[in-house]
Structure 1
Amino acid sequence: MAQNQPIFPIKPEEHSVHIPVSIERDSTTLTNSNQKPNHWPTILFSTIFVIIGQSIAKLLENFYYDKTNRTEINQHRQDDGVWTQSLLQTVGFPLLLLPFIILTTKKHNNTSVQFHYKSLAVIYICIGIIMSVQGRLSAMGKLEIPFLLFTLIYPTTQLLFTPIFARFINKIKFNRWVVISLVLAVGTVALSFTSTFGGEPGSSEESFSRGITAALFAGVCFSLFLCNIQNVFDNYIFKRTESSTTIRKPSFASVFEVIIFSSLVATLISVVGLLVAGEQHDLKREMSGFQNGKGAYVMVMVGQAVSWQLYWVGIVGLVFSVSSVLSNVISVVTWPIVSVLVVNLFDFGNFTGEGDDEFDIFKGVALITAVLSVAAYFFRLHKENRDSAY
């Protein structure tokens, strides 16, 4: 019996199970496929949220501009509503409080964990500032330059700067499939130049210098937003699960946490900007003059706020699941879908004086390149998941 004693102690083997926790979220890899068992479902649902949220938000935005008689607005009031549009992108964050509380309670753990409250507070304030500036600049850019030019500058800037920031901020390494996906995404943007927009400025309302600058910096801000979100996950939220004495996988509640606190800051900034600019008076005028009535106006505004929250859940969810780069790719390749929906639901040809809108070959090819861009990235994810299984 004494000879059998050494066989039973298993503490060294049990202890060895905890070693991989410190590398569960490795920022030098692109996919982090081993960090959670629901990797693919999270990616797919987040992608669906981005497509649905952005599509509905953009359609309602077009409907808003189409029914507020933009043709009667003179050049000095061309930028009316930019703070309002920025506010609509973040003001719906209270809708996320309930799922956040439910997921947080479900994942409650009594172990002592360092939450880095002060550091996260500063970071959320910075991200909120970036969100508000990005929302304001993107809303301004669309009203200052032709939409085809905005379509080329804004998403292309995102696709160029997000990989650069991700490489230096998040230490992400790239491979040929990711490069192919980015190239196809840029091609998708280039083919979307025939897209139309309800707030298209007239020739007398265009301001190329301000519009181009706004579109350019809006794209840079969006890239900074995505990469800073990933930095929060990598260096704070995921590490606080590793600091626990019990192995805990990151919860999707962290996605709601990031959106809620960042949106709170962005909302406060947008409200202040709206009041300083006096846009609260424009809201009353727009509601009274809305072609479909006051009730429809309120529904359009509420619908935009809700849709933007769905979009942010998808965007941040993709950063949580994979990386800022994939999140940006999915966001950009959704543009052709919106363009096709706008063509089928609106007729801005007479509005802009450029003839009727139609589904042309460029929109069709843009849809194809968008699918190929996502397929290239997803193929890489599948390949890495398969390799990690062996």
Structure 2
Amino acid sequence: MAQNQQPIFQTKPEEHFVQIPINIERDSTTLINGNSNRKPNHWPTIILSIIFVIVGQSIARLLENFYYDQINRSEYNESRQNDGVWTQSLLQTVGFPLLLLPFLILTTRKHSQQQQPPITSEGFHYKSLAIIYICIGVVMSVQGRLSAMGKLEIPFGVFTLIYTTQLFFTPIFARFFNAVKFNRWVVISSILAIVTGALTLSSSFGGEPDEAEEDYARGSWSALFAGICFSLLLSNIQNVFDNYIFKRTESTTRKPSFASVFEVLIFSSLVATIISAAGLLIAGEQHDLKREMNAFSKGNGAYVMAMVGQAVSWQVYWVGIVGLVFSVSSVLANVISVITWPIVSVLVVIFFSFMDDEFDALKGVALITAALSAAAYFYRLHKENRDSAN
């Protein structure tokens, strides 16, 4: 009888012994994510998000150059130098209603398949999230406005160099606000991304000011704080996922859904759109829109398509960026955003001819460093998934 009872006493310790290493392994294999509530890296989601970032940012920047080229931005005088900055900020967020349909589809499917968490928990999270979404929306509108103004104040190459500093601030914010841990591959990827951003200084921009309009002090500060705001924005979004959205699924069988990406974007963009629209009306830019449309060399229809195209493209970009924060971290989202710049600069050379811009050695090297930066980060993700599977 004693011998028959022995396996029973061995089974229970073994079950507890197995559960402990699993938890430790999940923590240790989320060095990039910095949060054990995150699900393992899902490659289809990551790849799709990267495609959204590249396509969205490329089209949005091309249409932005097209807009400034067709309104003859170079002929503007100094008193009208910053016309349209609130409009450009508004275009980055005003297309958020397009996200309502996929958000409702994913949310309906999730609630029909899985059990909802307790009402008290949901109420607590929604009150906290409402405040956070307002803060994120404010940062989004400020970042869009500063970025648009900085590009009109200083040469685009100088703006690019200063704006690249976001890659310094994002790891800092991620380390202290999100408890993200780093390894050599993440550091290498970030360094290569910084080099990539710096090498795009030879890129051209349709709204670049002439020498009489340049204001290095104001433009430089605008570019710097725009980069800081973008870094802070990504860290706050990761904080939402790690400390609110992911945690509200802990007590249930639900897993974090991509619907949360649309949730963050819709509510934050709503706030940012209200702020940018108010700034546009206060600045009187609504009158400039009619003048620009009438003076648009390609016609009113092309003007409307350029503006609508920017609004749609920016939403595609934001879905990709927030999707990368959801899937991995704010650091990867920032890296992918910056290493897309050389692609945009090459496309500008192909479709436009600003200041006789051409494909030079700097653009070629930037494409190489961008590929190496992505490869370094992907290698780390591959090792992380491989280790978690063992």
Corresponding position of 1:353: none
* Structure 2 residue 101 is matched with structure 1 residue 95: no
Distance 1:126 1:71 in 2: 36
Corresponding position of 1:378: 378
Corresponding position of 2:171: 163
Assess if the C-alpha contact under 8 Å between 1:93 and 1:309 holds in 2.
yes
Deviates more, 1:181-190 or 1:21-30: 21-30
Corresponding position of 1:131: 140
Shift in Å at residue 384 of structure 1?
Answer: 1.1
Number of aligned residue pairs: 377
Structure 1 segment 24-43 matched on structure 2, within 5 A: 29-31=31-33, 35-36=38-39, 39-43=42-46
Distance 2:179 2:52 in 1: 27
Distance 2:62 2:178 in 1: 34
Corresponding position of 1:336: 342
Distance 1:57 1:217 in 2: 21
Letter aligned with residue 367 of structure 1 = L
Deviations 1:82-102 (A, max 9, x none): 000000000000000000000
Distance 1:222 1:383 in 2: 29
Task: Compute the TM-score of the two structures, normalised by the length of structure 1.
Answer: 0.91
Distance 2:148 2:275 in 1: 15
> Higher helix share goes to which structure?
2
Shift in Å at residue 12 of structure 1?
Answer: 11
Deviations 1:126-167 (A, max 9, x none): 000000000000000000000000010112x11000000000
* Structure 2 residue 259 is matched with structure 1 residue 256: no
Corresponding position of 1:232: 240
Deviates more, 1:14-23 or 1:129-138: 14-23
Distance 1:34 1:125 in 2: 24
Distance 1:167 1:200 in 2: 35
Q: 1:205 to 1:387 in 2, by over 3 A?
A: same
Distance 1:227 1:309 in 2: 19
Distance 1:340 1:121 in 2: 40
* Structure 2 residue 389 is matched with structure 1 residue 389: yes
Deviates more, 1:200-209 or 1:26-35: 26-35
Assess if the C-alpha contact under 8 Å between 2:63 and 2:309 holds in 1.
yes
Corresponding position of 1:192: 200
Identity fraction in percent = 75
Distance 1:185 1:152 in 2: 12
Secondary structure of 2:94's match?
A: coil
Structure 1 segment 10-49 matched on structure 2, within 5 A: 29-31=31-33, 35-36=38-39, 39-49=42-52
* Structure 2 residue 351 is matched with structure 1 residue 345: yes
Corresponding position of 2:311: 305
Corresponding position of 2:219: 211
Distance 1:73 1:130 in 2: 29
Shift in Å at residue 53 of structure 1?
Answer: 0.2
Assess if the C-alpha contact under 8 Å between 1:35 and 1:249 holds in 2.
no
Shift in Å at residue 110 of structure 1?
Answer: 3.9
Shift in Å at residue 72 of structure 1?
Answer: 2.4
Corresponding position of 2:82: 79
Shift in Å at residue 21 of structure 1?
Answer: 8.6
Deviations 1:191-248 (A, max 9, x none): 111000000100011111110000000000000000000000000000001032xx22
Structure 1 residues without counterparts, runs of 5 or longer? 350-355
Q: 1:300 to 1:145 in 2, by over 3 A?
A: same
Assess if the C-alpha contact under 8 Å between 2:29 and 2:384 holds in 1.
no
Shift in Å at residue 256 of structure 1?
Answer: 0.3
Distance 1:34 1:83 in 2: 38
Corresponding position of 2:128: 119
Corresponding position of 2:61: 58
Corresponding position of 2:183: 175
Shift in Å at residue 70 of structure 1?
Answer: 1.1
Distance 1:23 1:384 in 2: 10
1:220 to 223, 228, 233: 228
Shift in Å at residue 29 of structure 1?
Answer: 2.6
Letter aligned with residue 120 of structure 1 = L
Distance 2:14 2:265 in 1: 40
Q: 1:241 to 1:15 in 2, by over 3 A?
A: farther
Runs of 4+ displaced beyond 2 Å: 10-29, 31-38, 109-113
Secondary structure of 1:191's match?
A: helix
Shift in Å at residue 73 of structure 1?
Answer: 1.2
Assess if the C-alpha contact under 8 Å between 1:80 and 1:279 holds in 2.
yes
Structure 2 residues without counterparts, runs of 5 or longer? none
Corresponding position of 1:273: 279
Assess if the C-alpha contact under 8 Å between 2:117 and 2:248 holds in 1.
no
Deviates more, 1:204-213 or 1:184-193: 184-193
Corresponding position of 1:149: 158
Secondary structure of 1:193's match?
A: helix
Shift in Å at residue 358 of structure 1?
Answer: 0.8
Secondary structure of 2:212's match?
A: coil
Distance 2:319 2:283 in 1: 29
Distance 1:273 1:13 in 2: 63
RMSD of aligned residue pairs (Cα, Å): 2.5
